[in-house]
Every structure is written in C-alpha cells, then in structure tokens.
Structure 1
Amino acid sequence: MLMEPIISVQLVQDLIPQKAPFVMIDKMLAFGENTITAGLTVASDNIFVENGRFNESGIVEHMAQSVALYTGYQFYLKNEPAPTGYIGSVKDVVILELPLPGEDIVTEVNVLHEFMGVTLVDIVTKRNNIKIASGQMKTVLAQ
C-alpha cells in the first residue's frame, strides 16, 4: 500500500510514543508493505546536537523512531491506538557521517521479519541521497 507523504509534524508525532523534546522524526515520506521512509530536518536546538553536529545517539534514535512510525501508522490505518514498543537489540550499526543542523536526513526501514510483536528491520539513513548510517534493529511491542 502506497500513500501520500505526511508532512504534518503533529500527525507524525501522534503516530509515535515519543514526545517533545525527544521526537526525532518530523515527516513520513513513503509507506508500503514491509517498508517506510521517514525524515527529519535537524534543528539547531535538537537535544542531540553537540559540537555543531547531530550526534550518533540522535541518529540511532531517529532510526528507532522510524521503526516506531511504521508500527504506529499500521495501527492508525486500522483505527487502533498504537502500542508502546521497545528496542530489543541494535546490531551492525555503522555511522559514516554526522549531519549538520538544518540538514535533512531520510531513513528507509525494510522489515525482514514480523512475528508476534517482534519486528526485525534493516535501516539505512541518508543525507542528500548519500548513505550516512545503517544497521539492523529488533523492536518488541509491549503486551
């Protein structure tokens, strides 16, 4: 299922459990079967900006929230409240570059397996269409 991008920051925030100032996504660019693409324009006052760069923790949190958005949007389409989820594991994360404030980052999540509330994904984050980070993540829904 493909859809129009969601650029309403408020709607995107309503689809994930995180709240300001800990929100690390501000748009959903694409959604399909087993995939989502989310984005963030890095603000200069973002809590993960240090020494003039969006740090590693911010990138990993952005990746995790992109996964949360995938789940949240699935529940939104069913008119059900999104459950809270947790990061079960992070594996093979490689961060090649730290974005500057004002830059846009785009993360594509590809679902490898989804079973009984556990989701395993491959994640690639890009800036200006150049890969700056990648990894795998396993998330678990709270019961």
Structure 2
Amino acid sequence: MKTLVNKHVITLKKTPKTLLLCYVVIYFLWGMGMNRFGTEMEIARFSHWWQVITCYILYMVPISILLKKYSFFEQYAYGLVAMGILEFLGYWLQTSYIYPNNILDKIFNPQNFSLGMALFFALYFPAGNWLVSKVHSRIFYKK
C-alpha cells in the first residue's frame, strides 16, 4: 500500500506546473459554475462556496491527474467510485444541500438522487482531462 501511495505522490509531483495551473483554473471555474447552476435550478448546492476548492481542486484535480493516462471508460469507472464516496459523504455530513422536490427527484425519485449525481459527476474525470489537455496544449505549446 505504501508503495502505491508513493507512486501516486511521485506522479502528482512530476505534473508540470503549467498543467496543474490549467487543472486548478478550469476545475475551479467549472465548480463555481456547477454550484451556481445547482442553486439557480434548485437541484443541489454546497453549504459553503469554498467547498468548490476542497471538492474540485483538492479532491478532483489530483484524481484527474492520476486517471489521465487511462481510457475514457477506465477514467469513468474509477471516477464513479471517487464521486460515489464524495456524494455519499457530502449528503451524509450535510455539507451539500439537496433542494426538496427538485427536478431530478421528480424524474428519478429521491432514493436515486445521489446515485444519479455520482453517475453524472463521474464524467468530470474523462471530460476534465480532455478539456485540460486541449486548453494546456493550445496555451503552452503554440508553435
């Protein structure tokens, strides 16, 4: 277990600073936008705005970096596990707020809400890695 953790720490440390900056900026803006969307549509929101930093930057960015070498489906599968844990803890600890009778509850029923959220947000890992790769290569590798 210790060697696995050390391997992941080394991978994160080897990440170019420019790539890390792209991840942080893109995921922060994405997180703020999704939190705002969830609030405006009265679906769900963080209890505090700064949770965008803890969830999107401190949790999702390192996972994205570790998953970027995998295929789309592997990123999604691993991302589903990561987001399942995050969604479960967010609602259990009440650091995320679910609006009662929101549109997703009406479509899928309340018992499926957190599962639906995990299934949706797991797409962030392959989509985020693709987006960051495109933005990073356009900005830092112009010829």
> Does TM, normalized by the shorter one, top 0.5?
no
Q: Which has the higher helix share?
A: 2
TM-score, normalization by structure 1? 0.35
| Higher RCO (CA-CA < 8 Å; seq separation 6+) | 2
Q: Which has the higher strand share?
A: 1
Higher Rg: 2
